[in-house]
Amino acid sequence: MTLVAFLSGAGISTDSGIPDYRGPNGLWRRDPEAEKLVTYDYYMADPEIRRRSWRMRRDSATWRAEPNAAHHAVAELDRQPGVAVRVITQNVDGLHQLAGLPSRKVIELHGTARTVTCTRCHVRSPMAEALARVEAGEEDPPCAQCGGILKSATVMFGERLDPEVLGQAMAITKACEVFLAVGTTLQVQPAASLAGIAAEHGARLIVVNAEPTPYDELAEEVVREPIGTALPSLLKRLTDATR
């Protein structure tokens, strides 16, 4: 059984209509102020930031997005005999799961946008329910259980990654035979360091990204073509090689 690990970033979801953050036309480059909407301290301290955040969530392209060819190719690889797939994703859109990859095989480093959590009592509930309240006129809906501040169950700037989730990602990275970094700039730590750790532990490192990354020189193969077409053909070649 060949363990194939993917580290997926925003670039894998752009073909689904979800903009990236740090690319040439990324959200943070176009509107640096938008970072405040997903920065924990600003969010907790300023009701106006929270109201703007809820409007941003309500209008997010995530809710209209469908998995693209790259997501489906990863899920298809998982169905091949002799291959075990694990995805470590920096994305919060849930598209790997919607493409058919079982949730237990997806490690969401930065959480999920499809759930909300209370910052006081930590109860979790579907994002759809919170957005329905926003649509009904609640600009900053409080927790229905305790009245605390609700936030997306994503890791905001200023919050640390869940150490248990990071530990799972690290274990997979060290154990895999093949490690593909797909659609990620490999600039955000600690996620970016996983590519180097995989290579150090003997994995075949493949980078699929439109722009150069700091780990390209460690990679056995670097692919610059559009992910939606490049990844399916790359994974077919990988499947044929493992047979």
**Rounded Cα gap, residues 22 and 49, in angstroms:** 21
Radius of gyration for the alpha carbons in the chain, expressed in angstroms and rounded: 18
Q: Taking a C-beta distance cutoff of 8 angstroms, is the pair 96, 117 a contact?
A: no
Q: Which residue has the tokens 């994503």?
A: 154
Q: CA-based angle 216:218:219, to the nearest 5? A: 65
Give the Cα separation of 103 and 179 in Å (integer).
19
* CA–CA dist 78, 84 (Å, integer): 6
Residues with catalytic function: 110
SS (H, E, C) 57-72: HHCCHHHHCCCCHHHH
Q: Which two tokens stand for residue 169?
A: 């990602």
